[in-house]
Amino acid sequence: MAQDDHSGTELAAADSSHAETVPAVKTGTALIQSDAFENPGFPPHRPRVTDEDPKKEKRAQRTVYTLFYLSILGSIWAIAAYMLFPMEGNDVGDVRLNNLFIGLGAALALLGIGFGAVHWAKAVMTDVEIADERHKVGGNQVAREGAVKVFQDADRESGFSRRAVIRNSLIGALLVFPLPAVVLFRGLAPQDENPVELLSHTMWKAGTRLTLDPSGVPIKASDVTIGSAFHVIPEGLSELHHGKLEEKAKAAVLLMRLNPDELNELPDRASWSYDGIVAYSKICTHVGCPVALYEQHTHHLLCPCHQSQFDVANHCEVIFGPAARPLPQLPIMVDDEGYLVAQSDFTEPVGPSFWERH
Amino acid sequence: MNRSKRRTGRRHPLATAALLALGLVFTGGAYAAFSTTTAQAEPSPTSQETIEEGGKLFQANCATCHGLEAQGTNDGPSLIGVGAAAVDFQVGTGRMPMQMQGPQAEQKPVQFTDEQVKQLAYYVASLGPGPDIPADSLVNGGGDAANGAELFRINCAMCHNVAGAGGALTEGKFAPPLTDVSGVHIYEAMVTGPQNMPVFNDLNISPEDKRDIITYLQYVQDNRSPGGFELGSLGPVAEGLFIWIFGLGAIVAITVWITAKSN
């Protein structure tokens, strides 16, 4: 059955003499240390039921070919299911039936072959214990010299070392070959723009109105009752046709109104809120998930991805989790008509750390 | 054969069961008829009697924590101005009266009849203006499910899960699953912001948009996932657990079978 690559002989017979192959060398007075691990040899051979009982062998054979026939049925069923359960309509339910029945057929086809083959090998094929000895990894001297000679011959015949111009031009060609890929992939990155600059600025400008996501309706300060949470996008974002999602991914803001007594503001940010209304970036400073799980009593903001928690009452400082920085605050004020507007862009880049920002 | 033998007996063996069933149907029918008649006598929001009855219930069940005048104490907030919607939600879902202090008041069997809940609600509404119990047309799910789905994903899904299956919050709090919550309670929760849920007033999400959100939630509940087995719609946690236990379990079992010696 299993044969050694080199000798091509079956080793099962040789194995029985394993214990006697210790070289007969006179030890003199030297103390021989016995090996801590002795080869226990094979466990006693235990015949299978299929070896002893012809009926059971027949049965095992039947099981094997039944499994193979089931596999054939499975394959045919997969083809039939493709035709019987087409994905033609707009109904997603069709996809489920189609995938389910094709999948069941394909699974039966593959599992039938797999289980059949394993059962065949285990229950019906010859059952003898054999040891497949490892051969030495290194070849002998002759083989090594032969290999060296092959390389030398090839070098001499091709002139790889001798014809330096050809060789060097080939090396040059191989080095230049990946360059188109580098240029093409570079084309996927922002063009003619500094990515650091792009990441550092959002759509918010002085005077940009805060509007509702997704409708773009501007928000009055009086609309925001205590305990409210508004999901906010900058004015004009909902009308963008190009790069809308990129802008939204940076500019999304959560607007909350706390009782002003409970709001503990940094002195230099005291003018950034309006009567307890605060606006913070929704993009987590850890890896950029949207942080919007706002608890109106505890004033905690929870990021669902890695459980970073921010305390809105304390300028969104990190109170738990892996986020490195507080959420950036958007300075807001109220315009003449009572609408909430941004005082400026965020004063720091929103979102996670990147190469120019830590 | 059996039947003819049994007919000779004095009583059919199923007679007891039939009698029981008959009795149950009559009792249940009578009860249903009775309870519908009481439901028809819905308390009027403005009648003095309703408010007085509600006041009595309040004194007996709520005043310990919320104060005799609902002005609030150290144990419970003031209820002046929370409106009928807040009371109908908190009491109507069994969250109030609260059983014990904990991370959040949990849902439990409702402690009052519908009529008593309404009486309490209108009593509290009489103390100060606040959101009212929404009209049927806003909570019966006749809106635009697609618009509701978009609004739900923006405003609600981060806590309540995109399929409304609920989710964890901080320090033992959680956003409850929205399956099997009535439209009127969902509406009231949005408008009043119970416990740690933020308030979504009518200027943030208009009444029609709230109706669309309820429509979406009812749609999700009635049209189960086309992907098949949902595992509670909990996403990667449940799915990961399933594949780690059953997928890897199957691989381990097959590996053991392949390497085991045949009998």
CA distance A344 to chain B (A): 24
Q: Which of A50, A96, A226 sits opposite B226 (nearest CB)?
A: A96
> Residue A8: what pLDDT?
41
Least CB-CB distance to B204: which of A95, A118, A230? A230
Please check whether residue B234 lies inside any domain of the structure: no
* Cα distance from N-terminal residue to C-terminal residue, chain B: 50
Residue B44 lies in a domain: yes
B62 is in an annotated binding site: yes
Per the structure, the count of domains in chain B is 1
Query: Is B142 within 8 Å of A267 (Cβ atoms)?
Result: no
So what's the pLDDT on residue A191? 78
Of B198, B261, B263, the CB nearest to A229: B198
Structure confidence at residue A6 (pLDDT): 46
B150 and A CB contact within 8 Å: yes
- Which residues of chain A make contact with B131, given a CB cutoff of 8 A? none
- pLDDT of B1: 45
List the single best residue of B197, B262, B263 to mutate versus A (max A Cβ within 10 A): B262
Please check if B159 is assigned to a binding site: yes
Task: Determine the distance in angstroms separating the CA of A172 from the nearest CA of chain B, rounded to an integer.
Answer: 49
Q: Identify which of A163, A170, A299 has the alpha carbon closest to the alpha carbon of residue A226.
A: A299
Let me know if residue B207 belongs to a domain: no
Residue B107 sits in a domain whose CATH number is 1.10.760.10
A295 Cβ contact list (under 8 Å, min separation 6): A301, A302, B169, B170, B173, B196
Q: Mutate which of B196, B213, B220 to disrupt the A interface (most A C-beta within 10 Å)?
A: B196
* Residue B34 pLDDT grade (very low, low, confident, very high; cuts 50, 70, 90): low
Residue B169, domain member (yes or no): no
Q: Which residues of A touch B171 (CB under 8 A)?
A: 298
Among B144, B118, B163, B133, residue whose Cα is nearest residue B208: B144
- Domain-by-domain residue ranges, chain A? 46-132, 144-182, 198-342
Percent of chain B at pLDDT > 70 equals 89
Q: Is the pLDDT of residue A13 over 70?
A: no
Phi, psi at A127, each rounded to 5°? -115, 90
How does pLDDT run across A85-110, given as a tens digit for each residue? 888 877 777 888 889 999 999 999 99
- Is B156 within any annotated ligand binding site? yes
pLDDT in tens, A246-258: 899 999 999 999 9
Rounded Cα distance between A343 and A209, Å, is 10
B186-244 pLDDT tens trace: 999 999 999 899 999 999 999 999 999 999 999 988 887 777 778 888 888 888 999 99
Residues in B closer than 8 angstroms to A49, CB to CB, are: 263
CA dist B41 → B47, B50, B96, B114, B117 (Å): 13, 11, 24, 11, 14
First to last CA, chain A: 62
Sign of the C-alpha dihedral computed for residues A189, A193, A198 and A200 taken in this order:
positive
List CB contacts (< 8 A) between A96 and chain B: 226-228
Whole-number pLDDT of residue B39:
46
Phi-psi region of B65 (alpha: psi -120 to 50; beta: other; left: phi over 0): alpha
pLDDT of residue A17: 44
User: For position B8, what pLDDT does the model report?
Assistant: 52
Nearest to B137 by CA among B214, B189, B199: B214
Cβ-proximal residues to B84 (8 Å cutoff; 6+ apart), any chain? B45, B121, B122, B124, B125, B130, B131, B132, B133
What is the interface size between A and B, counted as CB pairs within 8 Å? 80
**Has B216 been labeled as part of a binding site?**
no
Cα–Cα distance measured from residue A55 to residue A52, given in angstroms and rounded to the nearest whole number: 9
pLDDT at residue A200, rounded to an integer: 87
Q: pTM value?
A: 0.72
Phi, psi of B131 (to 5 degrees): -60, 135
What's the pLDDT at B42? 61
The complex's ipTM works out to 0.75
Which pairing describes strands A300-302 and A309-311: parallel, antiparallel, or unpaired? antiparallel
- CA-to-CA distance for A270 and B244, rounded, in angstroms? 51
Contact residues, chain B, for A226 at CB < 8 Å? 199
Chain B: closest CA distance from residue A291 (Å): 8
Residue B150 CA to residue B156 CA, distance in Å, equals 10
The residue whose two tokens read 């928690």 is A309
User: What does DSSP say about strands B174-175 and A317-320: parallel, antiparallel, or unpaired?
Assistant: unpaired
DSSP, collapsed to helix, strand or coil, labels residue A322 as coil
Alpha carbons B153 and B213: distance in angstroms, whole number:
10
Instruction: Tell whether B79 is covered by a domain.
Output: yes
> Is B185 marked as binding a ligand?
no
Rg from Cα positions in chain A = 37
- Written as one string, the DSSP assignment of A202-229 is -S--TTPBEEETTT--B-BGGG--TTBE
**Which residues on A lie below 8 Å from B228 (Cβ)?**
96, 100
* Position B89 in a domain: yes
| B16 pLDDT above the threshold of 60 | yes
Say whether residue B201 is in contact with chain A using an 8 A CB cutoff: yes
Non-local (6+) Cβ contacts of B79 within 8 A are B62, B66, B70, B72, B86, B87, B124, B127
Taking CA–CA distances from A117, the nearest residue in chain B reads B258
**A198-342: what fold?**
Rieske Iron-sulfur Protein (2.102.10)
Cα separation, B230 vs B235, whole angstroms: 9
Residues with Cβ within 8 Å of B162's Cβ and at least 6 positions away in sequence, in order, are B152, B153, B233
Three-class secondary structure of residue B260 per DSSP: coil
For residues B145 and B215, the answer to whether their CB atoms sit within 8 Å is yes
- Cβ atoms of B218 and B141 within 8 Å: the answer is yes
What is the domain extent for residue B126?
Answer: 32-133
Would B18 be classed as within a structural domain?
no
ω into A214 cis (within 30 of 0): yes
Q: Per the structure block, which two tokens stand in for A297?
A: 């009593």
Amino acid, single-letter form, for residue A26: K
- What is the length of chain A? 358
pLDDT score of B222? 86
Does the beta carbon of B253 lie under 8 angstroms from any beta carbon of chain A? no
**A45: amino acid identity, one letter:** H
Average model confidence (pLDDT) across chain A: 87
Find the CB nearest A231 among B155, B175, B261: B155
| CB spacing of B169 vs A295 below 8 angstroms | yes
Average pLDDT, chain B: 85
Q: Is A6 helix (H, G, I), strand (E, B) or coil?
A: coil
Q: Is B165 helix (H, G, I), strand (E, B) or coil?
A: coil
Residue that wins the pLDDT comparison between B228 and B158: B158
- Indicate yes or no: CB of B196 within 8 angstroms of CB of A122: no
Domain assignment present for residue B157? The answer is no
Whether the Cβ atoms of residue A72 and residue A65 lie closer than 8 Å to each other = no
Cβ pair B245, B237 in contact under 8 A: no
- In 3D, which of B92, B213, B96, B209 has the Cα closest to residue B164? B213
The pLDDT tens digits for B116-143 are: 999 999 999 988 888 889 988 888 888 8
Residue with more model confidence, A328 or B27? A328
Three-class secondary structure of residue A266 per DSSP: coil
- Per the listing, tokens 């929205």 go with B178
The rounded distance, in Å, linking the Cα atoms of A174 and A169 is 9
Residue-wise pLDDT for A41-80, tens only, equals 888 888 888 888 999 999 999 999 999 999 999 999 999 9
pLDDT greater than 60 at residue B66: yes
pLDDT digits (tens, 9 = 90+) for A257-310: 999 999 998 889 989 999 999 999 999 999 999 999 999 999 999 998 899 999
Q: Which residue has the higher pLDDT, A227 or A34?
A: A227
Among residues B172, B92, B145, B260, the alpha carbon closest in space to that of A119 is found at: B260
- Residue with the bigger pLDDT between B41 and A298: it is A298
Identify the pLDDT of residue B31.
66
pLDDT of residue A301: 93
Give the three-state DSSP class for A131.
coil
Q: Which residues of B touch A305 (CB under 8 A)?
A: none
Cross-chain Cβ contact B195/A320 below 8 Å: no
Residue type, A37: F
For residue A204, the tally of other CB atoms under 10 A from its CB is 26
- Give tens-digit pLDDT for B233-254: 888 888 899 999 999 999 999 9
B12 is in an annotated binding site: no
Is the Cβ pair A127, B262 closer than 8 Å? yes
In angstroms, the CA A221 to CA A264 distance is: 20
B154 and A46: CB-CB below 8 Å? Answer: no
Q: Look at B199 and A228 and tell me if their CB atoms are within 8 Å.
A: yes
Answer whether residue B92 shows pLDDT above 80. Answer: yes
Of the candidates A102, A115, A103, the one whose C-alpha atom is nearest the C-alpha of residue A69 is A115
